[in-house]
Structure 1
């Protein structure tokens, strides 16, 4: 196990609640952190940098002394016009963990390390992982097949095994994790932390629309479609929302343009499409309730401890 000092002794469970577009907000982040797991949100969930800064202030004011650290997701892509401004705000607020996506850049890593923060980076292949490791990141998030959001297609067995051949720092695993025994399974595979997204959408604190939450309760693994047609990057979405948004189901392998500047324009047609196309992972079929975050973490904790006891007895 390889946990940085920032996380040692501060987590009730080895879990990070993933940053989710239009879902993660201060209420969800605080509920996670104050119940003992890392809460996170994308900086771009606020339409402008002033709002992003206000969210950081709200989170910092609401964190309990014994709470887990929080994290912010930055899109490191040339089409994101806010990157430099949002990075400067992260530095000013000394954000404990910065999660980077779509680019592992030395400049970002150095800026966060400059105040003692951590950088975790999303990867879907060995090549992506090697490039991020070269940039000096503190952790890699192995986004395996079946994960929601910008997911990969590699089996978690293959992805974890190959990353561990050259990376001995903190490793997180994402993909179909809903229960405490699955958190333990991620550790058995070689990960240090479980990275859970879809399960936290279906909580009472989540900012997802009620129809979004209900669709997760109704969906099964067969409803999840992995496509580059929405954002230009292959990602997992629920079939029902793609159909409702008018996507041609026969052309879902056509790649959309990647442009994060356009996504920030509230009146832009493409931005509206993003709001009506809902992401989820293949683990949706195991989600059948809408608990509070506190109730969910209590259950995960119980399941995790029971699984550890079973594993001990088997040994």
Structure 2
């Protein structure tokens, strides 16, 4: 993909895909594998949690990722790795934010993904080191607010996305945003196949934003039972609830039932309960409640992150070729 209207960091990907930052699950091994496979790999800054008194683990992770991708690029100049992204939770309860911003600026992180609040000072920090900021949103109002605060692009989180997710149809959400915004735009929501990726591009998004398939990978920091449940589940096994973090999101039905709750009759929690002071908005009582999106029916086995990118690249090309035939002549 070569879209010259996009920032340089987002050009030249093998396929137009950004790996979503997965809480706990996205670690350097997974990010490195995603980037080597030709797509943007990412992780939440809050995943890098050191013990008290130890040096910041985020610093070590960024060094590891940068050095390994540099070695790959020197060894394979014909197929360089894609750049990586760091997700910053900008919610006011994230006490680590200022420290993590300073570390990311020092490492010149190329792509920043911001969540749960649009803040001018965060965008300015990213821009100070040449970074590109993509802010995730669930509706057109939040999209306009993010751009007014200085973001460079958007991640439209539509119905069916894993973890915190909106309820709007991707067709409606992308169309409304594209009426006024022509910058970088990624779509999140059940994109787990090359066909879905092509559909995202057809409706006006520049990238598909893919998360749940990467849970079921060798490089993911997830317990085996979680990976196997992704493989064994489908869209009907996803529950939409605000109970676990205070923000509406999608979760696997199995762990909710295992916790003794009725997935179809869960209490509603208020957004005021969200707190990232301990690194996660999810209370320890819900640590075994696993997030996932509605696209998991496409995941048939546990394998490497590179294999997922390979599969989706083949499907994307094949789907494009089939549709191209419809427009010939």
Provide the TM-score with structure 1 as the length reference: 0.94
* Residue of structure 2 in register with 1:255 after alignment: 270
CA contact (8 A) 1:28 1:206 kept: yes
- What is the alpha-carbon distance in structure 2 between the residues aligned to residue 95 and residue 247 of structure 1? 41
2:198 paired with 1:198: no
2:21 paired with 1:6: no
How far 1:139 moved relative to its partner?
1.1
How far 1:291 moved relative to its partner?
2.1
CA contact (8 A) 2:228 2:302 kept: no
* Residue of structure 2 in register with 1:272 after alignment: 284
- What is the alpha-carbon distance in structure 2 between the residues aligned to residue 50 and residue 274 of structure 1? 26
How has the CA–CA distance of structure 1 residues 215 and 221 changed in structure 2, closer, same or farther, with 3 Å as cutoff?
Answer: same
How far 1:246 moved relative to its partner?
4.1
How far 1:47 moved relative to its partner?
2.0
Deviates more, 1:241-250 or 1:70-79: 241-250
How far 1:202 moved relative to its partner?
1.2
1:61 to 67, 70, 74: 67
2:32 paired with 1:30: yes
- What is the alpha-carbon distance in structure 1 between the residues aligned to residue 195 and residue 242 of structure 2? 32
Deviates more, 1:185-194 or 1:287-296: 287-296
Provide the TM-score with structure 2 as the length reference: 0.90
- What is the alpha-carbon distance in structure 2 between the residues aligned to residue 220 and residue 298 of structure 1? 22
How far 1:273 moved relative to its partner?
3.3
- What is the alpha-carbon distance in structure 2 between the residues aligned to residue 5 and residue 275 of structure 1? 38
* Residue of structure 2 in register with 1:51 after alignment: 57
RMSD of the TM alignment (CA)? 1.6
For 2:10, what is the secondary structure of its paired residue? coil
Cα distance per residue 1:153-197 (max 9 Å; x no partner):
000000000111111100000111111121111000100000000
How has the CA–CA distance of structure 1 residues 68 and 41 changed in structure 2, closer, same or farther, with 3 Å as cutoff?
Answer: same
* Residue of structure 2 in register with 1:290 after alignment: 302
Uncovered stretches (5+) of structure 2, i.e. residues with no partner: 74-79
CA contact (8 A) 1:263 1:271 kept: no
The correspondence of residues 2-151 of structure 1 with structure 2, limited to 5 A, is 2-9=5-12, 11-48=13-50, 50-63=56-69, 64-65=72-73, 66-151=80-165
For 2:164, what is the secondary structure of its paired residue? coil
How far 1:96 moved relative to its partner?
0.6
CA contact (8 A) 2:94 2:279 kept: no
